């Protein structure tokens, strides 16, 4: 079951510059920065109430985030749904004809399990499914 919006992923060219906007202008607090070798991104989370913005900066030119910025510029990259059973959700979406980027979940930030759905099958929005594994 989809429970809520876990986070909104935002692609930025420079995380340090982005932090100035989110912290100094918006007055929000950055929490939990980490590097994902697998996804070739540096990630910073910005909690807002019950959800978060996930700032993403590419760590390598071949990073999906670098490619995204190259073709579409900085901006909203994906919307992540929180689910309590990611495998079941993926199976269900597959049966209903969605094109999955990840047939099986991979490990995301903060010990989560994540999987992406191809935006071509979801009206142009890149959706991520996300399951917290430590509760």
Q: Examine residue 129 and tell whether it contacts Zn ion (CB under 5 A).
A: no
**How many Å apart are CA 109 and CA 103, to the nearest integer?**
19
Instruction: Please say whether the beta carbons of 116 and 105 come within 8 A.
Output: no
- H or E segment at 31? strand 31-36
Work out which of 81, 128, 129, 131 binds Zn ion, going by CB under 5 A: 128
Confirm or reject binding of residue 89 to Zn ion (CB under 5 A). no
Residue 97 CA to residue 109 CA, distance in Å, equals: 28
Binding-site size for Zn ion (CB under 5 A) equals 4
Q: CA 104 from chain center: how many Å?
A: 16
**Closer of 12 and 24 to Zn ion (Cβ):** 12
Binding mask 20-59 for Zn ion (x = CB under 5 A): ----------------------------------x-----
Closer to Zn ion at the Cβ: 51 or 121? 51
Q: Is residue 9 a contact residue for Zn ion (CB under 5 A)? A: yes
Stretch that binds Zn ion, among 8-16, 18-26, 90-98, 119-127 (CB under 5 A): 8-16
Residue in this structure with the two tokens 């429970």, named with its chain if needed: 3
What Å distances lie between residue 52 and 30, 38, 63, CA to CA? Answer: 10, 21, 22
* Binding footprint of Zn ion on the chain (CB under 5 A): 9, 54, 80, 128
């Amino acid at each position: 079951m989809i429970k809520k919006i876990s986070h909104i992923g935002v692609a930025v060219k420079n995380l340090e510059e982005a932090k100035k906007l989110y912290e100094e202008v918006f007055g929000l607090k950055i929490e939990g920065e980490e590097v994902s070798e697998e996804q070739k991104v540096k990630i910073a989370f910005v909690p807002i109430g019950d959800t978060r913005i996930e700032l993403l900066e590419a760590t390598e030119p071949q990073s999906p985030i670098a490619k995204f910025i190259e073709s579409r510029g900085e901006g909203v990259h994906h919307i992540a749904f929180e689910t309590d059973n990611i495998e079941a959700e993926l199976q269900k979406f597959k049966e209903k004809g969605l094109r999955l980027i990840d047939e099986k979940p991979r490990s995301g930030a903060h010990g989560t399990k994540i999987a992406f759905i191809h935006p071509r099958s979801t009206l142009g929005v890149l959706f991520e499914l996300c399951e917290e594994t430590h509760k």
